[in-house]
Structure 1
Amino acid sequence: MEFLSDSVVLSRMQFALTALFHMLWPVLTTGMGIYLVIVEGVWLKTRNPDYYYHARFWSKFYVLNFGIGVATGIPMEFQFGTNWSRFSEAAGNFFGSVIGFEASWAFMLEAAFLGIMLFGWERVNPIIHYVSTILVAVGANLSTLWILTANSWMQTPAGGELVNGKFIVHDYFAAIANPFMKNSVLHMFFATLETSLFVIGGISAWYILNRRHEAFFSKSLKIALAAAIAVAPLQIYIGHLSGEQVYHYQPSKLAAMEAQWETTPAGQSADWSLLAIPNDKAQKNDWEITVPNALGYILEFKQKLTYPVRGLSEWKPEDRPHMIGLIYYAFRIMIGIGFFFAGLMLLSVLQWLRGKLSAENITQQRWLMRAWVFAAPLGYIAVDSGWIVRCVGRQPWIVYGQIRTVDGASNIPASNVLASLTGFTVVYSILFVAVLYFGSRIIRRGPNLELPLPGLEPDEPAVDTTPAEFVPDDRPVEAEQ
């Protein structure tokens, strides 16, 4: 229990808690914002009321996640001033301004037009409303751009130099376009989109399994599936490119990701560890299953690597990552979920081509619907696992190779950090329960298919009337509407 008296360790634990919890909510808003743009655009193009009701139903999840994202994001950023003030003083010339861009360019844009998107259906011109929905989605995804730019700079600092303990920016655009920036932004963008698609598909599959609005939710499932055809393989490919960058720019992190203790010289075959039990103290793996020569093919698509794969033993213990088992398995969980999503997408496409996902047949695909329900939370696990690899694997550096984590922490009593960490744990546990309650309430109620369509008088029928199978069922839970 020595860590309870170490303010740096407690500050790292607190930031890990707040960051991983916060990450759960914007993941859905950034991806679902794009989905809302799609369904509202189809509604305006076709005037098919199904897509209007989809926009209204899924926007409830958007606002729920937006609210919790704001409530958890602000305290997380405050920690740069409370727990990590020496880092902020050293890197604020660049890092602080980029975080400011996220607040002013992204969050303010999203917040400014969110009210119009939610409540402006009958109050503004349809084109104005659609533009508002687009701007909300743009704002949400600009957050991804600036947050990943800031974090990528911490991974591969560029555009300046450290002078007397402070980072002096010489080329602002080179700092923004640091080596990790492009792939990191793309990898996170597709992660949020993929997570959102499988959440939408999973919830839709739940309704289909329970025979509620089957035809209605078969549409949202197929929209998610159609997008996943492109997103799932692209995410795997961009993830591979990110791994190649780690190989070249952060060799100690790669060694931790692969639990590789000894160096494989350039020009030799590098084995890939499939499963292992890393032992930090003994500096070896107590047990492992390896695939001969596979790491060379994974990193460069050839057996013998151009550069050596350095093992952890090349660095002094204080200069390399620890918690190797956490990094190692978080990396494999992320990869496993990515390939599971791709496999589920392929099976679903096959069934779609066979005509098994039509409104008449989809209820018979119970095994497939259960797989989609199972997949719904996996994207969150993959995203948090990826951030564990990204940030724990960067240690002992807060700015890789330049500023150590211990030198970036504030000089505050450990008891103060322990008190705030306990408070965050309690409050976030309450918030999590609240989200589960309100989210399940939205799902239990289902879509309101009796809302008047914009531009029509209350007693005027729509041009494309809602089919009979879309009429809300008469189960008791629907009476709440």
Structure 2
Amino acid sequence: MLETLFLSRLQFAANISFHMIYPTISIALTWMLLFFKLRYNRTGDQAWLEAYGFWVKVFALTFALGVVSGITMTFQFGTNWMEFMHVASAIAGPLLAYEILTAFFLEATFLGIMLYGTNRVSNRLHTASTLLVAVGTTISAFWILVLNSWMQTPAGFEMVNGEVVVTDWLAAIFNPSMPYRFTHMLLASFLTGCFLIAGGSAYKMLKGDTSRATKKALASAIGFAMVLTPTQAFVGDLHGLNTLENQPAKIAAIEGIWHTEEGAPLLLFALPDNDAQTNHFEIGIPKLASLILTHSLDGELQGLNEFAEVGHPPVFPVFWSFRVMVGLGLLMLAMSWLAGITLWRKKSLPKWQLVTLSAMTFAGSIATLAGWMVTEIGRQPWLIHGVLKTADAVNDLPPEQVLASLLTYLSIYAVLLSAYIMTLRHLALKSINKEQQYV
């Protein structure tokens, strides 16, 4: 029979995976909407306002699903992970409260004006409302990522009677991994939004929409992606070096290094075998992992054997999730630059590039989910690194009860995600001028 621990972890993973699709899109969309609005204010070109009008509908739908899925995720701290809240409530409670206050005071307060105030309030107030919603979504993400980063690299606390007591809030908030994780996640969000807009715009063009609004949205998304993809690669490298310093077991799992070695290769392909503690069918570039992580061809990298006493993360999912993330990142880099250069030279994209961009509409979301799997699975067996193990935090619930709730969640999530994609398609088709034909 499946264990309660495994089922509870699977349930939380399913919930957070479904939830994070929407905030990552929402954060980027608000800033892109602000860009559209500012361009309209500056140029008076109605096409920018039309682009705003379409994508604000997508934002509203995405925001609503993000709020609903976030509430059910929070419930699980009480239903499945009470020991976590018992140990870490002194820091988790305030940080979650700050996130909720931010959401209500900034996002919820000005969201209505942003969505429905175009012709009801002054242009200046409407632009300011869009800005405040963008700031609110970003600050909300900040508090959530502070808590997650603290769980990865806890700081500014001491243990008193088995409970966390915060001794330095600045150290806790700006813990060793927070600046890297927050920046990396924001860039992931912006790239997710860029490819959603680029993919959605390409889909509309393939269906016959040649409006200036769609072309401007497409060009803007590609332009931002051209800058953000190499920036994300640079920040990701810094984040990796920080992880090597603070969570070397995670790096060992990412690189598939079972035993400490000098001059470790960068594995492009392998099938990690946890039982045999080895990799099968390795294809790698000699010494490149050591060069990237230690800046020396013969640099030493710790292997998973160094963490046998306390345990190490399961290697297969961490190893391959990282490669999915990096592979999609390289694809987004190549496609954004190819499309950008084509637009610069020819002012339009050939059909095959539009088809490719349309197929990559959710590439950013998939890459972000893969990166999140690396982060969360790579932390195991710890829930709070070095403080609380995952196995010690789970509630003692009947497995069949957790299984029932898991299946219920999965069913609802499948329906909602399908409805979300179908609604996006409906919005795209509805906005198309049927008299225009793509050339």
Per-residue displacement from partner, 1:238-289 (whole Å, max 9, x unpaired)?
Answer: 111111111111111111111110101xxx3222211100111111112211
CA distance in 1, matches of 2:117, 2:108: 14
1:226 matched to 2:217? The reply is no
* 2:415 alignment counterpart: 430
CA distance in 1, matches of 2:203, 2:211: 10
Over aligned residues, Cα RMSD in angstroms?
Answer: 1.5
CA distance in 2, matches of 1:215, 1:473: 15
Per-residue displacement from partner, 1:180-218 (whole Å, max 9, x unpaired)?
Answer: 000100000000001100110111111222332254322
Say whether the 8 Å CA contact 1:107–1:143 is kept in structure 2: no
* 1:343 alignment counterpart: 334
* 1:257 alignment counterpart: 254
Q: TM-score, normalised by structure 2?
A: 0.96
Q: Counterpart of 1:385 in 2: which secondary structure?
A: helix
1:411 matched to 2:396? The reply is yes
* 2:135 alignment counterpart: 138
- Look up the equivalent residue of 1:339 and give its one-letter code: L
Q: Counterpart of 1:113 in 2: which secondary structure?
A: helix
Q: Counterpart of 2:119 in 1: which secondary structure?
A: coil
Q: What are the ranges of 5 or more consecutive residues in structure 1 without an aligned counterpart? A: 448-471, 476-481
CA distance in 1, matches of 2:72, 2:245: 34
C-alpha displacement of 1:350? 1.9
C-alpha displacement of 1:341? 1.0
Aligned residues: 436
CA distance in 1, matches of 2:265, 2:423: 48
- Look up the equivalent residue of 2:177 and give its one-letter code: F
The counterpart of 1:293, out of the listed 287, 292, 298, is 287
Per-residue displacement from partner, 1:51-81 (whole Å, max 9, x unpaired)?
Answer: 1111111001000101111110100011111
* 1:458 alignment counterpart: none
C-alpha displacement of 1:108? 4.0
Say whether the 8 Å CA contact 1:272–1:292 is kept in structure 2: yes
Say whether the 8 Å CA contact 1:276–1:286 is kept in structure 2: yes
Query: Any residues of structure 2 matched to 1:369-380 within 5 Å, and which?
Result: 369-380=354-365
The counterpart of 2:297, out of the listed 296, 300, 303, is 303
CA distance in 2, matches of 1:206, 1:428: 25
CA distance in 1, matches of 2:424, 2:337: 29
Q: Counterpart of 1:93 in 2: which secondary structure?
A: helix
CA distance in 2, matches of 1:407, 1:187: 30
* 2:42 alignment counterpart: 45
- Look up the equivalent residue of 1:105 and give its one-letter code: T
C-alpha displacement of 1:474? 3.9
Q: Counterpart of 1:92 in 2: which secondary structure?
A: helix
Q: Counterpart of 1:288 in 2: which secondary structure?
A: strand
Say whether the 8 Å CA contact 1:106–1:141 is kept in structure 2: no
- Look up the equivalent residue of 1:221 and give its one-letter code: L
Say whether the 8 Å CA contact 2:48–2:213 is kept in structure 1: no
Query: Any residues of structure 2 matched to 1:173-322 within 5 Å, and which?
Result: 173-264=170-261, 268-305=262-299, 308-316=300-308, 319-322=311-314
Q: Counterpart of 1:319 in 2: which secondary structure?
A: coil
Per-residue displacement from partner, 1:414-445 (whole Å, max 9, x unpaired)?
Answer: 22212211211111122112212222110110
CA distance in 1, matches of 2:54, 2:122: 20
Say whether the 8 Å CA contact 2:290–2:301 is kept in structure 1: no
- Look up the equivalent residue of 1:377 and give its one-letter code: F
Query: Any residues of structure 2 matched to 1:433-472 within 5 Å, and which?
Result: 433-446=418-431, 472=433
Q: Which moved more, 1:271-280 or 1:390-399?
A: 271-280
Higher radius of gyration, 1 or 2:
1
**Percent of paired sites with the same residue:** 36
The counterpart of 2:77, out of the listed 80, 84, 99, is 80
Say whether the 8 Å CA contact 2:207–2:429 is kept in structure 1: no
C-alpha displacement of 1:352? 2.6
